[in-house]
Structures are given as C-alpha cells and as structure tokens.
Amino acid sequence: MSQRRLYLDEGYGESRGVVTLEGRPERLLIVRDGEPVVQALGAVVAARVRALDRPAGLAFLDLGQGPDAALNLSKEIGPLAEGQFVEVEIRSEARAGKGPTARWLGPAEGPARLLRAAPDLATRLRHFAPDTEVITGGVARTMADAAQDEAMETVFSLPGGGSISVETTRALTAIDVDLGSRKAATPKQAARAANFAALAAAARALRLKGLGGLVVIDLVGSSHDAPALLSAARAAFGPDNPGVAMGAISRFGLLELSVPRRTRPCLEILCDARGAPTPLTLALKLLRNLEREALADGGGRFVGLAREDVIVAARPALGALTDRLGARITLATQAPDAKAELEVSRL
C-alpha cells in the first residue's frame, strides 16, 4: 500500500503544506498572508448577485473581495435577481483570467462577507491522509523547499529511463512522453513500460503543480494496449476523483482526460507570466535563508541581499523574523553586478 506523509511549514509571510507519496512530493499547498479569505477553497460566503447570464446558465457573484465567483444556475436554486444575496461555498479557487466557482447553499442576508472560514492548512493536509501525523519544524521546511523547486520544473524523469514534460497553455496541459535511453528486450516493450510509468508520473506532477482541466498525454510508440493503459490511467488519477473523465486513446497515440480544478495552480502563485519567480516568491525564500543562517549561528548578524523589488516585497514579513531573532537580521539592496540572485552575508 502506498504511504503518504504530511508536512506543514509555517514560515514568515506564507505557510506551505506538502503531501508526499512514497517519499516524493505529490501535492504542494501554499497560503500567503493577505490573500482574500473569501476566495479560499471551502470558504462559506454571503455573496451578492452582480450579474446574470441566463443563456449560459451562470450567475456572477460579488464576494466582497477579489474576482467574481461563477455559480451554475439550476432548478434547485430557482429564480435569482441581480442584487440578491446568496450563501455559497467556494468549490474551486480563482486562476489566471477566471474567477472562483461556487456551490449554492441557500439565500442570505447582506452585506457580502465571510460566513465561515476555509479549513486551515493542517486540516486540508489531513484530508489526504486522515490517520497520518502532520510533521512540522525543520524537516517540513526542507520538504516544502524541495516540493516548491520540483513544482517549478517542466521535465520529470521516469523510473527506468525516459521522461515526461509538462507544459500548460490557455486551453489545456500537454504532457509529452520521451523514451530517452530506456532499455528493454524490444523497442515495443520499452515504449510500453515508459507509457505505464509516464501515467503515474503525470498524475503526480499535475497534483504537485495544482493543474486541472483538459489534459492531453502524447504517448510514445504505436499500437498501444488501450485497455491496459486506460486501466492504469484510471488508477493513477484515482486520487483526483470525483470528476476525472477520460477519452479513448486516439489513432495518434493521444490520451485525453479532464481533471477537476480545485486550487489555484502553484505556478500562478510562485511565478509571473513569463514563468520567472515573482519578487514575493524570492523575498520569502530570502527570509527563509536568513532564518536558517541566524539559527545556525546564534550570535551572528546577517544581511539579506537582493534586487530592490525583492527587498521591498520582503520588508512586510521582516518584522516577524526580527521579533524572534532580534535586530541582528537586516535587508539591503545588492549591487547591480551581483552574481547571485539572493545572498545572505554575515556582518
């Protein structure tokens, strides 16, 4: 039986939760300070109906903060009017270009506001392994750093050789299977083994990145054993149910499936539109590096160096760090010709 472990890293400015499967990161959950609580997965909100699109069967809801949520209209809900207040639960978080989705709970009284907070990060982690202890402290910090680094990768190695690449577009996520130097008695056996390994790796990579929606997997080779591959795909994506839907393997070796969207993709939190870490992502990493060095040397004074926008992003969380470690922690803008993106120097 596969074993999952849970890790919770409560840092300065953000908390990160990690689920591992057989020692490898499977899920990364990130909660940053200052995010609108009404937008969080599982939050219960009194929302105002801002607009109705009856042909599309949608109501757009003002949650009081952040983008509007979309609510699917149904006979159960009955007629709604613009300006009316309703009670809803956030079922999927906002992502690039689209707001969250909501589930109808009933009518409500205004104004738009949070009625019940979303489950905290520890509770969300226990959902994936209910009888497992949540590990905290330095081990959790190390695991969260490793999970974050891996979530930002595009290429993932397969056991036994070969790899998959995971790339997103506005329409879908494309996963390409590469045979690489994988060895077997025949090329067909090598392709078969790579495809089975790729399905498990693809499911883990998508969960780690927080990706959902339409997914297309370009399998390697030809003359695929479709029943066996579809059975393996159903097992690999089983943890993402309910809501996973699969199509047949096409004549071109493409497996199409749809995976439910629930949380905001990690890369949208960690990176900008170009795929580079945001100033805040770098700032939080700089603060973690400062904390590690300061804890290792209880009498030392340290300065964190980075470009100006990173330093600006780090300052709001610096106070909590200095409250714990004292004024021996400072920040400064690094020289324009600095070789490293982030530096921690002992004063």
For the stretch 280-297, pLDDT in tens is 999 999 999 999 999 999
List, for residues 248-264, the tens digit of each pLDDT value.
999 999 999 999 999 99
Q: What is the mean pLDDT of the chain?
A: 94
- Look at residue 181 and tell me whether its pLDDT is greater than 90: no
Q: Quick one: which of 334, 246, 214 has its CA closest to 286?
A: 334
Domains (range + CATH), the chain: 4-28+125-148 (no CATH), 42-116 (2.40.50.140), 152-266 (3.40.630), 278-346 (3.40.1260.20)
List, for residues 17-38, the tens digit of each pLDDT value.
999 998 999 999 999 999 999 9
pLDDT of residue 1: 43
**Is beta strand 245-249 parallel, antiparallel or unpaired with respect to 173-178?**
unpaired
Average pLDDT over residues 28-52: 96
pLDDT of residue 130: 94
Confidence band (pLDDT; 50, 70, 90) for 2? Answer: low
Average pLDDT over residues 312-319: 94
pTM above 0.85, yes or no: yes
Percent of the chain scoring above 90 in pLDDT: 86
Q: What is the dihedral of CA 185, 187, 191, 192, to 10 degrees?
A: -50
Confidence band (pLDDT; 50, 70, 90) for 68? Answer: very high
pLDDT of residue 222: 86
Of 97-111, 178-192, 286-300, least confident by mean pLDDT is 178-192
